[in-house]
């Protein structure tokens, strides 16, 4: 009887373990146009991996982290660096393996035109109310912009708002400035205001943003080949896109946007090649290494303190 029990529990455990790795579960964003959506639609990932790839869309990078922790997602494509830094501060067993997309104009701080505030008199923001989605890439951009313009953030009243809500508040004049991401929300905001900094000024201020590909450590340990193939196919799709952009319609349809919106969004994107990633992002002084450490320290709290070394959260072996 006891052996029967033992074998049957072992069988159940085996069955569960066997099913758990049958598919690859990938998280991505809607309204975020990337060339690998062509590969996604054409099932190039499935072909190359030989596994069924399930794509699940998420509203935020935080949601991706939560799903990865619960084991429902193996790979997150285009997770923001801020949610990633927050997650590793909280000891989440996930790793950055590559850069998905770099962008300059995707998140921005928009000031209402009738406030008369520009970057030259930015200190007038002190005492005013601004909308920021806290602990996101836009929050990072906001803090960098303010410190660059010499504005004391503690003198501002910061309202935590999602971009869509912030666009409404900015239009109503409830806030004088709103920092946000997302093409639709930013377009609405620009109706009543103007960006605080130009893309060139932002680049000079060190505000570069990029999204990453992250995986759970378990999946990377058990299926390094699948992770490597995922990165490979993604880069193949990026290279194919760089050479030929005739498949815009496929991306637009999959991203749920019009072709014009897709074109305008993608004009602000760059998709670093493997060589560029290894040199510029993951080199000894690479942007990815310095940014994740910088951001981890910026968002550290006493419950989720900064790591001593953020390099352990980066695994570039899948780029080779």
Partner 1 sequence: MSEFLFEQRNTIVAFLIIGLIISLALSIVKGRRVMATERTDLVFGNPAKALGGWYWIITGMSFVMLIWFYFSWDAARAYNPKAANELCQVAKVESAIKPMRSQFPLDKQNLRGTDLIARDSAQLERINNSLQTLALQNSVKLEAAAILTSLHSALVDQANPVYMKASLATEFKSIAARIDSLTANFNDPDFPGQPTVAQQAAAAAQPGWGDTGKEIPVLATTPLGYRYEAIAAEIRLIAKDFVKLRNTSPHLLAQVADINSRIKDAKARFKADLNISIEEQEARTRLYSQLNKMLKRIDDGAIYPPNSLDDIQSSLVAFDKTHIAQQGSLKAFDTWMMPGGRIMAGNSACSEQGSGRWLPKPSDTLGTLMRIADPDIGFKDIPLLWYRWQPVGGMIAFLFPDWIAELVPGDYPRHTQNGEIKSNFKSNVQDFVTGNYESFSIPVPMGHMWDSIIRVVIGLFFGIILGVPLGLFMGLSRFAKGFFDPMVELYRPVPPLAWAPLILTIFGIQDDGKIFLLFMVAFAIMVISARTGATGTQLSKIHAAHSLGASHRQILRRVILPNSLPEILTGIRISIGVCWGTLVAAEMLAGTTGIGFVENVARKQSDYEVIWVTIIILGVLGLLFDLIMRAVITRTIPWRGKG
Q: Which of 266, 307, 318, 319 binds partner 1 (CB under 8 A)?
A: 307
Question: By CB under 8 A, which span of 17-25, 97-105, 192-200, 263-271 interacts with partner 1?
Answer: 17-25
Under rule CB under 8 A, residue 50 binds partner 1: yes
* Pair type for strands 52-58 and 269-270: unpaired
Torsion, Cα 132 79 102 260, to 10 degrees, reads -80
Under rule CB under 8 A, which residues in 109-138 are in contact with partner 1? 129, 131, 134-136
90/204 with CB nearer partner 1:
90
Q: Which of 160, 198, 283, 290 binds partner 1 (CB under 8 A)?
A: 160
Site string for partner 1, 281-300 (x = CB under 8 A): ------------------x-
Q: Applying CB under 8 A, what is the total number of residues that bind partner 1?
A: 62
Under rule CB under 8 A, residue 217 binds partner 1: yes
Phi, psi of 94 (to 5 degrees): -130, 160
Between CA 115 and CA 125 the distance in angstroms is 9
CB 216 within 8 A of CB 84: no
Site string for partner 1, 235-274 (x = CB under 8 A): ----------------------------------------
Under rule CB under 8 A, residue 93 binds partner 1: yes
CB 240 within 8 A of CB 179: no
Between CA 301 and CA 68 the distance in angstroms is 22
75 bridge partner residues: 26, 215
Under rule CB under 8 A, residue 90 binds partner 1: yes
Cα 139 to chain centroid distance, Å, stands at 13
In terms of Cβ atoms closer than 10 Å to its own Cβ (0-12, 13-18, 19+), residue 261 is middle
Site string for partner 1, 174-193 (x = CB under 8 A): xx------------------
CB 133 within 8 A of CB 139: yes
Site string for partner 1, 223-242 (x = CB under 8 A): xxx---x-------------
Give Cβ neighbours of residue 150 (< 8 Å, ≥ 6 apart). Answer: 122, 123
Question: By CB under 8 A, which span of 98-106, 219-227, 257-265, 277-285 interacts with partner 1?
Answer: 219-227
Between CA 56 and CA 26 the distance in angstroms is 6
* Pair type for strands 193-195 and 75-80: unpaired
121/221 with CB nearer partner 1:
221
Under rule CB under 8 A, residue 17 binds partner 1: yes
Phi, psi of 35 (to 5 degrees): -60, -30
Q: Which of 56, 184, 264, 304 binds partner 1 (CB under 8 A)?
A: 304
Query: Residue 190 corresponds to which tokens in the numbers above?
Result: 């620009």
Under rule CB under 8 A, which residues in 19-38 are in contact with partner 1? 21
Under rule CB under 8 A, residue 92 binds partner 1: yes
Determine what percent of the chain falls in helix, strand and coil, rounding each to the nearest 5: 55, 20, 25
Residues that bind partner 1 (CB under 8 A): 14-15, 17-18, 21, 42, 44, 47-48, 50-51, 62, 65-66, 69, 83, 86-93, 95, 129, 131, 134-136, 154, 157-161, 164-165, 168-169, 172, 174-175, 217-218, 221-225, 229, 299, 301-305, 307, 309, 312-313, 315
């Amino acid at each position: 009887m006891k052996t029967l029990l033992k074998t049957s529990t072992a069988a159940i455990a085996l069955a569960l373990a066997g099913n758990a790795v049958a598919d690859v579960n990938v998280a991505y964003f809607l309204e975020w146009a990337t060339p690998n959506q062509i590969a996604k639609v054409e099932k190039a990932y499935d072909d190359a991996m030989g596994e069924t790839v399930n794509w699940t869309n998420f509203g935020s990078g935080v949601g991706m982290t939560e799903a990865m922790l619960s084991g429902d997602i193996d790979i997150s494509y285009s997770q923001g660096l801020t949610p990633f830094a927050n997650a590793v501060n909280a000891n989440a067993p996930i790793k950055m393996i590559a850069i998905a997309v770099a962008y300059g104009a995707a998140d921005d701080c928009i000031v209402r035109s009738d406030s008369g505030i520009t970057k030259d008199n930015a200190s007038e923001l002190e005492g005013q109310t601004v909308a920021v989605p806290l602990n996101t890439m836009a929050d990072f951009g906001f803090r960098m912009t303010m410190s660059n313009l010499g504005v004391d953030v503690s003198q501002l009243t910061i309202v935590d708002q999602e971009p869509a809500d912030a666009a409404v508040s900015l239009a109503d004049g409830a806030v004088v400035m709103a920092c946000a991401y997302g093409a639709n929300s930013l377009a609405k905001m620009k109706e009543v205001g103007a960006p605080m900094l130009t893309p060139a000024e932002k680049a000079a201020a060190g505000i570069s943003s990029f999204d990453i590909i992250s995986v759970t450590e378990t999946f990377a340990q058990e299926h390094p080949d699948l992770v490597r193939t995922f990165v490979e196919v993604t880069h193949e799709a990026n290279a194919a896109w760089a050479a030929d952009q005739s498949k815009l319609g496929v991306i637009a349809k999959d991203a749920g946007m019009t072709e014009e919106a897709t074109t305008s969004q993608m004009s602000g994107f760059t998709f670093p090649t493997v060589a560029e990633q290894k040199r510029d992002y993951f080199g000894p002084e690479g942007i990815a290494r310095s940014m994740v450490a910088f951001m981890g320290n910026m968002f550290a709290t006493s419950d989720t303190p900064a790591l001593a070394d953020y390099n352990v959260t980066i695994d570039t072996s899948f780029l080779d």
